[in-house]
Amino acid sequence: MAYQLSHEMFDRYLAALSATHRVFAPVVKANKNKLADLDLITYDEVSGADQIIWSEKSYFSPKEIFYPIRETLFRFVGKEAFVPEVDQKPMLILLRPCDLNGIDRLDQIFFNNGVSKDFYYERRRKLVKFAVIECTEGFDSCFCVSMGTNKVDSYDMALKYSGDSITLDIKDETLVPDGYSFGANEDFELDFVKSNKTKVELPDFEGVDLNQVFGHEMWKEYTSRCIACGRCNTSCITCSCFTMQDVFTDDEKMLSERRRRWAGCHIKGFSDMAGGHSFRDKNGERMRFKLMHKVYDFNKRFDKHMCVGCGRCDDVCPEYISFSKSINKVAKIIQEVKHEK
Ligand code: SF4
Ligand code: SF4
C-alpha cells in the first residue's frame, strides 16, 4: 500500500503512529559538530516531517538507538543481581539502504557469531522496524554500489521525499494506526543509487599468501598518520565491539553495576589482555586489522562483506585517512602479488 502525503498529512500520520511507536530519523543538532559553531546531523526522536533531514547523510549511524553507547547489563544490590528493564514501545527508524544493510551485518554478529544470541541486543532489536528513505544520488564518500549495498528488498516501510510531498509504501500493517485512513492508493517503486563518485575495487584474496598483505609497507603510512581517535569505529554502522566496566555506586560497595560500552579496534588498549599482553600496538596494524575484518574475514564467515560503503569513516577521520582508498590500495597490492607469481 502506497500513499502520497503532504507534510501536514505526514505530521498527522506521525502523531497517530506515536501512540504505538517511537519514530527516529536524522535531525540537526545546533552547535554539536566537532568543529565549533557548526551543526551536527545525527539521529533523534522526531514528531514531524520538517524535523527530518531528508537530503544529507547523518554523521553517526542509527545503531545507537538499539545498541546503546553505554548499557547497564545488570545491577547488584548486596548479594542480589537485577537486569534493568527497557522501554517496550516499538520503534521505527528512518534510514538509507546502506544502513539497513549495515544492520543486517550487526545482526549477524550479535545473533550468529557466538554460541547464543546476544540477549541485550536482541531484546531491543526485536522492537525495531525500518523505514527506508529512497536514496538515488548518494554522497561524495559513499561507495555502496561497489559494496552491493545500494539496494534493499526487506523493509517495513519505504519513503520517497520530493520537497512538498512524501510517498509512503507500507509493508508492515502495524504501521497503519487503528482506524487511520490515508486516502487514494499510489503506484510505488523504490529507486536506488546506480553509481557513486567513489568507487572501490574489492581485493580478490583467492590464492594469495596473506603474509604478503600483512607484512606490506603500506600499513606504515597509517602508523604515522592515524591518531587512534576511534572516530572511524564509533561512526561505523557495522562496528559492534564493546568492552566491560564494573562500577561501584556506594562507598560500602553494596550497590554496583556491570556496563558494556562501545570500544573500537583503532583505540589504544582495545587488545590489552590479562598478564599485560597487548596486540597491534602500532596504529597501522590496527588499520590493517579493521580493513581485513571489513572486507575479508567477515565475508569468509558470513558470505557478505561487513563494510557497506556508507563512507562515514572517510567523512569523520581528522587525519583525512580514506578507507575506500585503502581498500583500493590493497586490491592493487593483490594484483601485483598475483602478477609476480
Ligand atoms: S568501514 Fe567505513 S564505509 Fe564501511 S560501513 Fe564502516 S563507516 Fe561505512
Ligand atoms: S578516524 Fe582516522 S585517525 Fe581516527 S582512528 Fe580512525 S583512521 Fe585513525
* Shared domain check, 163 and 42: yes
| Ligand 1 pocket member 321 (CB < 6 A) | no
- Flag the least confident range among 135-139, 185-189, 233-237: 185-189
Closest CA to 133 of 80, 95, 178, 79: 95
Mean pLDDT value of segment 69-89: 94
Report how far ligand 1's centroid is from the alpha carbon of 142 (Å).
9
Residue 280 within a domain: yes
Q: Closest residue (by CA) to atom 5 of ligand 1? A: 307
Distances in whole angstroms, Cα of residue 290 to Cα of each of 43, 141, 295, 311: 25, 18, 9, 14
So what's the pLDDT on residue 75? 93
- Asked whether residue 305 carries a pLDDT value surpassing 90, the answer given is yes
d(CA 249, CA 125): 29
Strand order in the sheet with 80-82: 80-82, 70-77, 255-262, 242-248
| Ligand 1 pocket member 105 (CB < 6 A) | no
| Ligand 2 pocket member 231 (CB < 6 A) | yes
So what's the pLDDT on residue 33? 83
List phi, psi (to 5°) of 88.
-90, 5
pLDDT band at 246 (very low <50, low <70, confident <90, very high): very high
pLDDT band at 78 (very low <50, low <70, confident <90, very high): confident
* Shared domain check, 110 and 217: no
| Ligand 2 pocket member 147 (CB < 6 A) | no
Q: Closest residue (by CA) to atom 8 of ligand 2? A: 226
* Shared domain check, 235 and 158: no
Residue 238 within a domain: yes
pLDDT band at 153 (very low <50, low <70, confident <90, very high): confident
| Ligand 1 pocket member 63 (CB < 6 A) | no
* Shared domain check, 228 and 164: no
* Shared domain check, 107 and 28: yes
Mean pLDDT value of segment 149-160: 95
- Asked whether residue 248 carries a pLDDT value surpassing 80, the answer given is yes
| Ligand 1 pocket member 312 (CB < 6 A) | yes
Report how far ligand 2's centroid is from the alpha carbon of 235 (Å).
11
Report how far ligand 1's centroid is from the alpha carbon of 105 (Å).
11
- Asked whether residue 251 carries a pLDDT value surpassing 80, the answer given is no
* Shared domain check, 138 and 217: no
| Total number of domains constituting the chain | 2
pLDDT band at 338 (very low <50, low <70, confident <90, very high): confident
Q: Closest residue (by CA) to atom 3 of ligand 2? A: 226
Residue 194 within a domain: no
* Shared domain check, 158 and 23: yes
* Shared domain check, 96 and 29: yes
Q: Closest residue (by CA) to atom 7 of ligand 1? A: 236
Q: Are 101 and 308 in contact (CB under 8 A)?
A: yes
Q: Which ligand 1 atom is at minimum distance from the Cα of 314? A: 2
| Ligand 2 pocket member 321 (CB < 6 A) | yes
* Shared domain check, 218 and 150: no
Q: Calculate what percentage of the chain has a pLDDT beyond 90.
A: 87
So what's the pLDDT on residue 79? 87
d(CA 104, CA 150): 13
d(CA 156, CA 52): 18
pLDDT band at 312 (very low <50, low <70, confident <90, very high): very high
- Cβ-defined contacts of 324-329 (< 8 Å, 24+): 324/141, 324/143, 324/198, 324/200, 326/218, 326/222, 326/287, 326/291, 327/200, 327/201, 327/202, 327/203, 327/291, 327/295, 328/200, 328/201, 329/218
Report how far ligand 1's centroid is from the alpha carbon of 87 (Å).
29
Q: Which of 221, 227, 234, 268 to mutate to test the pocket of ligand 2 (most atoms within 8 A of CB)?
A: 227
Mean pLDDT value of segment 123-138: 97
Q: Are 287 and 294 in contact (CB under 8 A)?
A: no
Q: Which ligand is nearest to the CA of 323?
A: 1
Residue given cell 590479562 in the structure block: 274
Concatenated DSSP letters for 182-226?
--S-------B----SS--PPP--TT--THHHHT-THHHHHHHH-
d(CA 220, CA 142): 26
List the beta bridge partners of residue 72.
259
d(CA 64, CA 59): 12
* Shared domain check, 237 and 104: no
Report how far ligand 2's centroid is from the alpha carbon of 232 (Å).
6
So what's the pLDDT on residue 39? 86
Cβ burial of 294 (10 Å; 0-12, 13-18, 19+) is buried
So what's the pLDDT on residue 31? 83
Q: Which ligand 1 atom is at minimum distance from the Cα of 236? A: 7
- Of the three residues 175, 200, 221, the one that is the final residue of a domain is 175
d(CA 157, CA 284): 41
So what's the pLDDT on residue 250? 80
- Cβ-defined contacts of 31-39 (< 8 Å, 24+): 33/59, 34/316, 34/318
| Ligand 2 pocket member 310 (CB < 6 A) | no
**Domain range holding 16?**
2-70+84-175
Mean pLDDT value of segment 290-314: 97
Give per-residue pLDDT as tens, 169-207: 999 999 999 999 888 888 999 999 999 999 999 999 999
d(CA 56, CA 29): 13
- Asked whether residue 252 carries a pLDDT value surpassing 80, the answer given is no
* Shared domain check, 287 and 150: no
Q: Which ligand 2 atom is at minimum distance from the Cα of 323? A: 7
Closest CA to 81 of 93, 71, 73: 73
* Shared domain check, 272 and 163: no
List phi, psi (to 5°) of 57.
-85, 140
- Of the three residues 153, 175, 197, the one that is the final residue of a domain is 175
List the beta bridge partners of residue 44.
25
- Asked whether residue 145 carries a pLDDT value surpassing 80, the answer given is yes
As given in the structure block, the three cell numbers for residue 31 are 552547535
Mean pLDDT value of segment 126-140: 97
So what's the pLDDT on residue 253? 74
- Asked whether residue 327 carries a pLDDT value surpassing 90, the answer given is yes
pLDDT band at 286 (very low <50, low <70, confident <90, very high): very high
